[in-house]
Amino acid sequence: MRVTRSNLSKPLSDGGLGFRSFERFNEAMVAKLALWIMSNRDSFCVTVLRAKYKVENNWLQARPAKLAFFAWKGIEGVRSLLSKGACKLVDLGEDTLVWEEPWISDLPSFKPGSRSPTAS
């Protein structure tokens, strides 16, 4: 058997060594930090990043920062990954755009469907 990256990353039960993908592991760790930034976690690092890059509540839809250091560019790079599974928690609903933002956890896209015409 030839030793290749794909063979090394196979599970032990399939004859591989069970190595994990470093790229996916890195992406998961960066996504976790991005999730902390989205949820405004009480952390010095998160506070500094949110202040430096002026992170608002609509960070997933915001434009990427033009001048940013490589770590922030990596964090912005996982926004598309987070947006696939991120759902907004609605408190009083004052800041929620109900037809545009994902907030319904029971729907696949977390967004309501198109408005149906009202029957008169």
Q: For residue range 10-32, what is the model confidence (pLDDT) as tens digits?
A: 888 888 888 888 888 899 999 99
Whether the per-residue pLDDT at 50 is higher than 60: the answer is yes
CA pair distance 11, 70, nearest whole angstrom: 33
**Model pLDDT, residue 115:** 61
Q: How confident is the model at residue 79 (pLDDT cuts 50, 70, 90)?
A: confident
Whether the per-residue pLDDT at 42 is higher than 80: the answer is yes
CA pair distance 59, 7, nearest whole angstrom: 39
Q: How confident is the model at residue 116 (pLDDT cuts 50, 70, 90)?
A: low
| C-alpha radius of gyration, the chain, whole number | 20
- What's the whole-number mean pLDDT along residues 75-102? 77
DSSP, residue by residue, 13-79: GGTS--PPPHHHHHHHHHHHHHHHHHTT-S-HHHHHHHHHTT--TTTTTSPPPSS--HHHHHHHHTH
Q: How far is CA 43 from CA 13, 40, 46, 75, in A?
A: 41, 8, 5, 16
CA pair distance 51, 38, nearest whole angstrom: 13
The mean predicted confidence, pLDDT, of the chain is 81
**36-40, 82-86, 95-99: least confident range:** 95-99
**Model pLDDT, residue 47:** 93
- Using the CB atoms, write b or e for 10-41: b if 16+ within 10 Å: eeeeeeeeeeeeeeeeeeeebbebbebbbeee
Whether the per-residue pLDDT at 120 is higher than 60: the answer is no
